[in-house]
Amino acid sequence: MRYVLDQPPIIAEEYSGYALVALSFLGMAYTWQERGHVRVTALVSRLPVKVSSWLRVLTLVLAFAFTIALIDTTYKYLAHSFKIGMVSSTYYRTPLQGPQMTIMIGFILLALLIIVEIIKAIIDIRAGKAIEEATK
C-alpha cells in the first residue's frame, strides 16, 4: 500500500511500535551478555584488584535488586492489563498483553544473566582472579 497508494497501512505504525518495544527490552539481556552497556571505570581502575572485584560484585547485586523491582512492577502492570482486558485505542483494538509481556520477559532474562555473572564473579574472587580479567 505504501508504494501503490502512497499511503502505508494504518496497522504498520502500531505494530512497528510493538516491535520496537520487543526489540528494546529483549535486546537488553543480549547487550548485557555482549558487554554493550555503558560502564564507567575511571575510579574502579585505580582501586586495588581485590577491592575493585568486590565492588563489581556489589554493583551486580544492586543491578539485580533493581531488575527484580522492575520485574515486580512490570508483573503488576501486566496483571492489571489482563484483568481489564487492555487493548490499543486504534481501529484494530489490538490486545496489549503480548507487547507488554516482552518487557517482563526482557527483565527476567536480564536478571538471569546478572545472577550468572554474580556467581562467576564470586568464583573468580575465591580463585584469586581479578574479575575484569576473568570476564574478558
| Domain definitions of the chain by residue range | 10-135
Q: What is the mean pLDDT of residues 1-28?
A: 82
Evaluate if residue 95 carries a pLDDT over 70: yes
pTM value?
Answer: 0.82
**Alpha-carbon dihedral sign for residues 85, 80, 111, 42:** positive
Evaluate if residue 114 carries a pLDDT over 70: yes
Q: Which residues contact 122 (CB under 8 A, 6 or more apart)?
A: 57
Q: What is the pLDDT of residue 133?
A: 46
Evaluate if residue 136 carries a pLDDT over 60: no
CA angle (28 as vertex; 19, 111 as ends), nearest 5:
125
Q: What is the pLDDT of residue 1?
A: 60
Q: What is the mean pLDDT of residues 47-61?
A: 89
Q: What are the DSSP calls for 76-98, one per residue?
A: HHHHHHHHHT-B-SSTT--BSHH
In single-letter form, the type of residue at position 2 comes to: R
- The total number of residues shown for the chain amounts to 136
Evaluate if residue 134 carries a pLDDT over 60: no
Coil vs helix vs strand at 2 = coil
Count of beta carbons in the 10 Å neighbourhood of residue 15: 15
